[in-house]
Amino acid sequence: MALRTIITLPDPRLRLVCDPVATVDDTIRALMDDMLETMYDAPGIGLAAIQIAVAKRVVVIDASREEDARQPMRLVNPQVVWASEETSVYEEGCLSIPEYFAEVERPSRCKVSYLDETGKPCEMDCEGLLATVVQHEIDHINGVLFIDHLSKLKRDRVVKKFAKAAKRESVA
């Protein structure tokens, strides 16, 4: 396992639609292990492969509480196959948009199909925080960021702030 660098806004790779994984093999399992180590180190509760500059449809999640045992989830080629009309609002953040948080409204429940770490097809019913996290991470592999769910004014303000910070870093 290895810690990977998390790319941040305004990196254009965050807008890529990721490629499906053809076969869940040792390379993909190693990628997921690295992603979990990177996510826990950050710390975060979800990470998409594109956030470490790998344009594959791979997501890791652990929405367990700090005081509970870790419950890592590895999802390959995940997709939402059903979402409730009922919504909920959570304050979201993102490891690729550090130290910025905003309330986002999403379906409160969803069903997700995916391949597990052995390549076996699975389905999972999600609700509450898990539903929010899984939708947030699936957005990532589709080139969508949580700020895209905000008003244009708020989104533009965030993008401008991060672009300005990146420009300062490149000059330094």
pLDDT digits (tens, 9 = 90+) for 20-55: 999 999 999 999 999 999 999 999 999 999 999 999
pTM above 0.85, yes or no: yes
For residue 42, count CB atoms less than 10 angstroms from its CB and return exposed for 0-12, middle for 13-18, buried for 19 or more.
middle
Most distant pair of Cα atoms in the chain: their distance = 48
- Give the phi and the psi of residue 44 in degrees, each rounded to 5: -145, 180
Instruction: Output the six-digit token pair for 158.
Output: 């965030």
CA–CA distance, 96 with 94 (Å, rounded to integer): 5
Domain ranges of the chain: 12-171
Q: Which conformational region is residue 77 in: left (phi greater than 0), alpha (psi within -120 to 50 degrees), or beta?
A: left
103 a catalytic residue: no
What's the confidence (pLDDT) of residue 152?
96
Query: Which regions in the chain score pLDDT beneath 70?
Result: 172
DSSP symbol at 35: H
Class of the 12-171 domain? alpha beta
Predicted pLDDT at 67: 79
Per the prediction, the chain carries an average pLDDT of 96
pLDDT value for 66: 78
Q: Among the options 66, 103, 127, 137, which is catalytic?
A: 137
